[in-house]
Structure 1
Amino acid sequence: MTAVAFREMQARRTRGRATPSGGATKPRRPVDPGPASEPDALELPPLLVGLAGVGRVWTLLMPYSELLTSNQRLHHMAVHRIRKRLRADAAAVARAQLVPGLDRAAVFYALHPRPINRKRDPGNWAPSAKAYVDGFVDAGVLPDDDHVHLLGPNPVMGPPVASGAARMSLVIAELPPL
């Protein structure tokens, strides 16, 4: 590296633009939910058909937030920032809905997509669901998210939101202890 190239690199860093091309990086837009819209309620009986001994059931609609997908290629710190916010959102919603501590539960996550006419794969949003389940553990809803205490999270396609960004709702079904 020449002295001139080194000085140019230092100048870019001090301006907050440490990109190899020397151009400014494009700032991320915050998620704009648009007008407030709530998705329709999920049909719970089809979800719970294969489970034996289901007790109480809670449906938690998560707030609008940037979601993680399996297809994204983000910097690890951006993933950490999003995961941390999703975890905190899940813990706050679980506490607000007064979900008690459970010994064992099944969790389903339903993606409520934007109204775009194309196919969706709800399994791609598993990283977001994992962060939400970790938030439930933080809130004390589950003792741990291992195979003994948790069945799932299982993906389900939910009804779309009328407008705005995609949302997720989680269904927690109490299961009897093993």
Structure 2
Amino acid sequence: MTTTAVVAVPVWEASIVLGADQVLTENDHKHWRYRHPRAKSVRSVSEQTARFTRAPRLERARIVIEILFPDRRRRDTHNLMATAKPIVDGLVDAGLLPDDDARHLAGPHLEASTELSPKRWGQRTFTFNIAVFDLGEEPTP
């Protein structure tokens, strides 16, 4: 018996490059007044990216975010969920999904890349490669 693997193709892809000082992590224990402007900025960049690249409007989707780090140090990828959340919120603001609740969104799933994020103007960066997979309409019970 042979099985054929089905490879899903993303319906939309984009990359967001952030300076190391713009990235939020779960280990940041700073005051909300410090974190909020950075989260708002990431959300805005994500929304503008989706609008500029004409992201589709979907009912349900799976989002995978591949992260390129600035160096090869050992990392806990899920610490960057604090950055992934504003990215997803920006996609919702742009109309890619009606909401980011469990009915409309599977993920975001974070994966570490083996590639390094390029330096920009001599500064370290993190690159977030976003892939969106259409899950179709919600099945009716």
TM-score between the two structures when normalised by the length of structure 1 = 0.66
Can you give the 5+ residue segments of structure 1 that lack an aligned partner in the other structure? 1-48
**Which residue of structure 2 aligns with residue 63 of structure 1?**
17
* Alignment partner of 1:123 out of 64, 74, 78: 78
Secondary structure at 2:89 match in 1:
helix
In 1, the alpha carbon distance for the partners of 2:74 and 2:10 equals 32
Matched residue type, 1:86: V
Matched residue type, 2:134: E
**Which residue of structure 2 aligns with residue 37 of structure 1?**
none
**Which residue of structure 1 aligns with residue 130 of structure 2?**
170
**CA gap 1:56/1:154 in 2 versus in 1, 3 angstroms:** closer
**CA gap 1:55/1:177 in 2 versus in 1, 3 angstroms:** farther
Larger Rg: 1
Cα deviation code 1:149-177 (max 9, x no counterpart):
00000110122124332221211111111
CA contact (8 A) 2:24 2:38 kept: yes
**Which residue of structure 2 aligns with residue 143 of structure 1?**
98
**Which residue of structure 1 aligns with residue 60 of structure 2?**
104
**CA gap 1:129/1:149 in 2 versus in 1, 3 angstroms:** same
* Alignment partner of 1:82 out of 38, 49, 73: 38
| CA drift at 1:62 | 0.7
In 1, the alpha carbon distance for the partners of 2:110 and 2:95 equals 23
Cα deviation code 1:96-132 (max 9, x no counterpart):
11112110110011111012x3211211100110111
Could you list the structure 1 runs, at least 4 aligned residues long, displaced by more than 6 angstroms after superposition. Answer: none
CA contact (8 A) 2:63 2:131 kept: yes
Matched residue type, 2:35: V
In 1, the alpha carbon distance for the partners of 2:136 and 2:127 equals 29
Matched residue type, 2:18: Y
Can you give the 5+ residue segments of structure 2 that lack an aligned partner in the other structure? none
Which structure carries more strand by proportion? 2
In 2, the alpha carbon distance for the partners of 1:134 and 1:104 equals 15
Identity within the alignment, %: 30
CA contact (8 A) 2:17 2:126 kept: no
Secondary structure at 1:70 match in 2:
coil
Which has the bigger relative contact order, CA under 8 A and spacing at least 6?
A: 2
**CA gap 1:55/1:114 in 2 versus in 1, 3 angstroms:** closer
**Which residue of structure 1 aligns with residue 47 of structure 2?**
91
**CA gap 1:173/1:118 in 2 versus in 1, 3 angstroms:** same
